[in-house]
Amino acid sequence: ETGVTQTPRHLVMGMTNKKSLKCEQHLGHNAMYWYKQSAKKPLELMFVYSLEERVENNSVPSRFSPECPNSSHLFLHLHTLQPEDSALYLCASSQVGGNTGELFFGEGSRLTVL
Amino acid sequence: GESVGLHLPTLSVQEGDNSIINCAYSNSASDYFIWYKQESGKGPQFIIDIRSNMDKRQGQRVTVLLNKTVKHLSLQIAATQPGDSAVYFCAVSPNSGYSTLTFGKGTMLLVSP
């Protein structure tokens, strides 16, 4: 148990569906992240929120829309996805100003786009 | 930008052996280096870190070595156990104040009894 909980763990959706991934952290951290993990590729940073404000967006397609309503919750809204978006989506949290590399990851949401 | 590469996609060892996983990075100004472990079906888990002002750091059964001259990072696992079987990632972070890490692809460590 890492203190970061992601739901759902598995999601299958069609290209025209709209769904959301949810992440909740119980560690009192002030920064949250979405990463994409595809087979045989390094982890790709998608979004960073620090103190609930988006501070980094690595040019992710607009079909991915993040939302951070408070420091404990993070969402990734999905719409009109493509099959190549199938991947493991990992949420992470950290304490800005603390150990900068110590991200705490959730177990991921495995997304399959048909 | 930074690029991070691992030397081997897979490493197979016998239980009890020492394991060494290697990583190379490109940006000589990188300040912070981290190793993560990812077991099947789980998210990455922090193992050990090292800053650029150090050459070596030890944890429980793990040692990280940093060679800034050749931009090389290694993770040594002593007395490898079946429970160490996982994918190991190195990651490099600039001293930006945010946890913006560049990850390598990962080396799968397979430990046989």
Q: Which residues of B touch A32 (CB under 8 A)?
A: none
How far CA B19 is from CA of B75, B76, B104, B109, in Å, comes to: 8, 6, 18, 8
d(CA B48, CA B38): 13
Share of chain A above pLDDT 70, in %: 96
Which residue in chain B is spatially nearest to A101 when comparing CA positions? B99
The predicted pLDDT at position A101 comes to: 58
Which residue in chain A is spatially nearest to B32 when comparing CA positions? A101
> What tens digit of pLDDT does each residue of B15-59 get?
999 999 999 999 888 888 999 999 998 999 999 999 999 999 999
pLDDT value at B71 more than 80: yes
**Smallest CA–CA separation between B96 and chain A, in Å?**
9
Q: Which of B99, B102, B105 to mutate to test the interface with A (most CBs of A within 10 A)?
A: B99
Share of chain B above pLDDT 90, in %: 70
In b/e form, how buried is each residue of A78-94, taking b as 16+ CB within 10 angstroms?
A: beebeeebbbbbbbbbb
Q: Which comes out higher in pLDDT, residue B21 or B100?
A: B21
B15: three-class secondary structure by DSSP: coil
- The answer to whether residue B3 neighbours chain A at the CB level (below 8 Å) is no
Which residue in chain B is spatially nearest to A92 when comparing CA positions? B43
Q: Which residues of A touch B108 (CB under 8 A)?
A: none
Mean pLDDT of B87-104: 78
The predicted pLDDT at position B54 comes to: 95
The predicted pLDDT at position A56 comes to: 77
Average pLDDT, chain A: 91
**Smallest CA–CA separation between A40 and chain B, in Å?**
7
Cross-chain residue pair B46–A31, CB shorter than 8 Å: no
Average pLDDT, chain B: 90
- The answer to whether residue B23 neighbours chain A at the CB level (below 8 Å) is no
Mean pLDDT of B73-90: 96
d(CA B71, CA A17): 45
Three-state SS letters, A70-101: ECCEEEEEEECCCHHHCEEEEEEEECCCCCCC
The predicted pLDDT at position A60 comes to: 93
The predicted pLDDT at position A79 comes to: 94
pLDDT value at B73 more than 60: yes
Q: How wide is the angle at C-alpha A27 spanned by C-alphas B75 and A61, nearest 5°?
A: 75
Q: Which of B87, B46, B67 is nearest to A42 (CA)?
A: B87
The predicted pLDDT at position A50 comes to: 87
- The answer to whether residue B40 neighbours chain A at the CB level (below 8 Å) is no
Which residue shows structure tokens 């996982």?
B86
Cβ contact A24:A70 at 8 Å: no
Neighbours of A50 (CB within 10 A): 21
B26: three-class secondary structure by DSSP: coil
d(CA B83, CA B92): 25
> What tens digit of pLDDT does each residue of A18-66 get?
999 999 999 999 999 999 999 878 899 999 998 878 887 778 999 999 9
> What tens digit of pLDDT does each residue of B23-35 get?
999 988 888 899 9
The predicted pLDDT at position B6 comes to: 65
Cross-chain residue pair B49–A101, CB shorter than 8 Å: yes
